[in-house]
């Protein structure tokens, strides 16, 4: 398929409420959309980098620049690429998985639309709806937390994830357990906020029958996570540390985790995401789909991924209205705790032009 060019579109998507994690607070999503226009179709990708390099080293302006200067021009070397050739070409440049993921996904979306194939069937989906979990940020008070968790449980979410950090961990978890009982599927996400010296403190979380504790230690501490996993009953799940299928195999080999959060942006795209899924499935390790506050564009691709057989835990594939008053695509809605997998060609959703224009802050075209 011949690539005519690529559109880079920046947008400011307001969140319904500030979302606080151990590394900062988001109030507006600084979005970079990538649109690949080919001779036969057009496809969309959403770069999940944040405006500042706090979750990882990538950030939105940097991702736009590496796409503009290196990744998109490198596609000019390809005459009639498929997504594998495109992905391989981008490997000449080091790093920048979120930027690469956005371009690879936009191309794959275009390729699949032209073929009339849905992303979910292309990836190997086995279900047509996925169980939805929800992520709850760090709050100013326990009361505020309990009110928000209660609202999400009333909405039907099947799993609650609480962001934690030193000073906001044992008490919020205890309060949620005491208010909502032991049957709620409950997990915590530390976003690398602890050290191995906190092990004895973190062991106190074992009293609350959590599904998992996500990324308690810094990204590079695979052995540290293996040591912590030996000291805790709560299963350790990795997020930031899992940057490729190769690293996943190493992490599993040393017992660094027993659950994996798969995020396409963190690992360079959905092809690598599927490879990680396959490594985990071959090792009997449960995976779930992480989220990065995506609009309906990124959310659609995540929901397709979450329909693969190894995704046995609810992911951060919440409904659109979890973060946005109005999504720029047909909204994803919660139906008895599940989100429907789009069935149309490609990612199965399109931006609604007026809504996309309303949040757009800049558009640039890079011709081939």
Ligand X SMILES: O=C(O)CCC(=O)N[C@@H](C(=O)O)c1ccccc1
Task: Report the interface residues with ligand X, using CB under 6 A.
Answer: 21, 26, 50, 55, 135, 189, 191, 239, 290-294, 316, 318
- Shortest approach of ligand X to residue 355 CB, angstroms? 19
- Shortest approach of ligand X to residue 115 CB, angstroms? 29
- Shortest approach of ligand X to residue 81 CB, angstroms? 30
Which CB, 41 or 295, lies closer to ligand X? 295
Residues whose CB falls within 8 Å of the CB of residue 285, separated by 6 or more in sequence, listed in order: 252, 257, 258, 259, 260
- Shortest approach of ligand X to residue 85 CB, angstroms? 30
Pairing, β 3-21 against β 236-238: unpaired
Whether 163 is catalytic is yes
- Asked if residues 323 and 19 have their Cβ atoms less than 8 Å apart, the reply is yes
Coil, helix or strand at residue 210 = coil
Give, for 368, the enclosing helix (H) or strand (E).
Answer: none
Which CB, 7 or 148, lies closer to ligand X? 148
Which CB, 224 or 290, lies closer to ligand X? 290
Which CB, 100 or 113, lies closer to ligand X? 100
Phi and psi based region of residue 255 (left: phi greater than 0; alpha: psi -120 to 50; beta: remaining)? left
SS (H, E, C) 35-97: EEEECCCEEEEEECCCCCCCCCCCCHHHHHHHHHHHHHHHHHHCCCCCHHHHHHHHCCCCCCH
Residues whose CB falls within 8 Å of the CB of residue 329, separated by 6 or more in sequence, listed in order: 295, 296, 297, 299, 300, 320, 349, 350, 351, 352
Coil, helix or strand at residue 178 = helix
- Shortest approach of ligand X to residue 199 CB, angstroms? 21
Q: Which of 35, 100, 161, 263 is catalytic?
A: 263
Which CB, 113 or 266, lies closer to ligand X? 266
Nearest to 218 by CA among 239, 200, 246, 235: 239
Q: Which of 35, 163, 281, 340 is catalytic?
A: 163
Buried b (16+ CB within 10 A) or exposed e, 109-135: bbbbbbeeebbbebbebeeeebbbbbb
Closest CB to ligand X belongs to which residue? 291
- Shortest approach of ligand X to residue 299 CB, angstroms? 8
Whether 16 is catalytic is no
Which CB, 269 or 314, lies closer to ligand X? 314
Give catalytic residue positions: 163, 263
């Amino acid at each position: 398929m011949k690539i005519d060019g690529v559109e880079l579109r920046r947008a400011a998507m307001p969140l319904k409420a500030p979302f606080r994690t151990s590394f900062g607070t988001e109030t507006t999503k600084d979005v970079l959309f990538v649109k690949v226009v080919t001779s036969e179709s057009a496809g969309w990708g959403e770069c999940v980098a944040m405006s500042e390099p706090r979750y990882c080293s990538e950030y939105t302006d940097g991702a736009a620049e590496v796409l503009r200067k290196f990744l998109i021009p490198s596609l000019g070397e390809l005459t009639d690429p498929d997504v594998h050739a495109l992905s391989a070409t981008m490997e000449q440049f080091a790093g920048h998985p979120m930027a690469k993921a956005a371009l690879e996904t936009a191309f794959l979306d275009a390729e699949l639309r032209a073929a009339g194939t849905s992303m979910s069937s292309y990836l190997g989906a086995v279900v047509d709806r996925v169980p939805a979990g929800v992520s709850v940020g760090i709050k100013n008070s326990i009361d505020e937390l309990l009110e928000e968790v209660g609202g999400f449980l009333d909405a039907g979410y099947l799993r609650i994830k609480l962001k934690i950090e030193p000073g906001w961990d044992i008490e919020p978890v205890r309060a949620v357990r005491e208010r909502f009982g032991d049957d709620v599927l409950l997990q915590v996400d530390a976003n690398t906020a602890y050290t191995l010296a906190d092990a004895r403190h973190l062991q106190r979380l074992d009293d609350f029958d959590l599904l998992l504790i996500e990324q308690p230690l810094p990204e590079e501490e695979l052995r540290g996570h293996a040591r912590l996993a030996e000291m805790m009953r709560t299963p350790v799940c990795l997020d930031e540390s899992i940057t490729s299928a190769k690293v996943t195999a190493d992490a599993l080999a040393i017992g660094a985790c027993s659950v994996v959060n798969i995020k396409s942006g963190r690992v360079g795209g959905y092809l690598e995401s599927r490879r990680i899924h396959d490594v985990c499935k071959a090792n009997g390790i449960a995976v779930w789909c992480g989220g990065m506050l995506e609009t309906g564009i990124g959310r659609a691709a995540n929901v397709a991924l979450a329909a693969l057989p190894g995704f046995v835990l609810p992911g951060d594939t919440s409904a659109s209205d979890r973060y946005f008053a109005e999504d720029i695509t047909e909204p994803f809605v919660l139906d008895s705790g599940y989100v429907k997998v789009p069935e149309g060609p490609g990612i199965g959703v399109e931006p609604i032009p007026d809504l996309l224009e309303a949040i757009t802050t800049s558009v640039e075209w890079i011709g081939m």
